[in-house]
Structure 1
Amino acid sequence: MSTGHVEYASLNGTHIFKLIGEVRAQSCISLDKLLNRIEQQQNVVGAIVDLTETTFIDSTVLGILAKLGLKLKQVHHIQAVMLSTNPDITTLANSMGLGQVFVILNYCGDPNVCTQALLDDNITHGTMLGTVLDAHKTLMKLNENNQNMFEPLVKQLEKEQVNLDSASAKQNA
């Protein structure tokens, strides 16, 4: 199975995220970390999420993108732009409510944009679990359908996180 990755570039306060190939939860830990840093910046003027080369995207990645859109709206008062040329990806993004926090455009742009791959380093089970849980909680905030769809998963992930935290506490004692 081919794996995808996320590339990133920034210029004068505009942040560009390019998702390439089959982008799944394990490909986006560094994206989630980057979003936390961007939230703290003062000079954010725009964001573009380029899905024109995305062939598959899972719900965790969609949740992290929802988090990006929500944070940009709440913290920086910016509505981010999402570029998509794949009707399936566009439909999925809209069905998850991302159209509420992004302007979704059908766009065929230059494939030679100067981005760099975000590297996923130091991925632990705990880090992955936290990212997946946070992403799905963010999707649940977008609409009632997502709330109903992901509530069982979130409850299960929360139980797993409690078990992981208690095992870690016992190990450190």
Structure 2
Amino acid sequence: MSTGHVEYASLNGTHFFKIIGEVRAQSCISLDKLLGKIEKQSTNIASAVVDLTQTTFIDSTVLGILAKLGIRLKQTHHIQSIMLSTNPDITTLANSMGLGQVFSILTCNEANNICCTQVLKDDDLTQKAMLNTVLDAHKTLSKLNESNQNVFKPLVKQLEKEKKALKCAD
């Protein structure tokens, strides 16, 4: 279970995501939905910033959702997203997953104390929604590099089986 949360703010086309505390897959459904809404905007997208300065733990599903953000903004809007990190372990993890390919990762000495964000509420926590979000996030990570593909191939295969079984049960 997550003991952290995601906050979001937007101003004049700059989209700001702050990952606070220990954030896991449960927090991703709302984030994924928000990214879908942002992605559908054809205008008013100038930049995206992901702030990991208060992140103590981030799982691969969250990283996969963030990878999707970086990839789509780069491909669709030709925007180089920015990721801020003050924790060397978080920075190393993000780089090892290939996020440096789609984000400019900036390491900071001090986190900003003033921030105007809103907590992104966890919603729609159904088994199907969670399964789809986790599967999509890991497929996205697998596309970033061969190492991720090798690491997550068994998980993706298992999640696809579960998705198929869930679909058959409906």
Q: Does residue 127 of structure 1 match 2:145? A: no
Write the distance in 2 (CA, Å) between the matches of 1:6 and 1:147: 27
Q: Does residue 147 of structure 1 match 2:149? A: yes
Write the distance in 1 (CA, Å) between the matches of 2:33 and 2:20: 19
RMSD of aligned Cα (Å):
1.0
Distance 1:143 1:167, change over 3 A: same
Q: How many residues matched?
A: 168
Give the 3-state SS of the residue equivalent to 1:28 in structure 2.
helix
1:52 CA displacement: 0.1
Q: 5+ residue gaps in structure 2?
A: none
Determine if contact 1:5/1:28 at 8 Å carries over to the other structure: no
What residue number does 1:114 align with? 116
Give the 3-state SS of the residue equivalent to 1:160 in structure 2.
helix
1:4 CA displacement: 0.7
- The runs of at least 4 aligned residues of structure 1 exceeding 2 Å deviation read none
1:15 CA displacement: 0.1
Q: Does residue 35 of structure 1 match 2:35? A: yes
1:121 CA displacement: 1.5
What residue number does 1:171 align with? none
Write the distance in 2 (CA, Å) between the matches of 1:121 and 1:21: 18
TM-score of the pair, normalised by structure 1: 0.95
Q: Does residue 77 of structure 1 match 2:78? A: yes
User: Paired residue for 2:140, among 119, 126, 138?
Assistant: 138
Give the counterpart letter for 1:154 in structure 2: V
Give the counterpart letter for 2:115 in structure 1: V
Write the distance in 1 (CA, Å) between the matches of 2:130 and 2:58: 16
1:2 CA displacement: 6.2
1:131 CA displacement: 0.1
Give the counterpart letter for 2:74 in structure 1: K
Cα deviation digits, residues 112-154 of structure 1 (max 9, x gap): 2100000111210000000000000000000000000000000
Determine if contact 2:2/2:27 at 8 Å carries over to the other structure: no
Superposed counterparts of 1:22-61, under 5 Å: 22-41=22-41, 42-61=43-62
Give the counterpart letter for 1:50 in structure 2: D
Give the counterpart letter for 1:152 in structure 2: P
Give the counterpart letter for 2:114 in structure 1: N
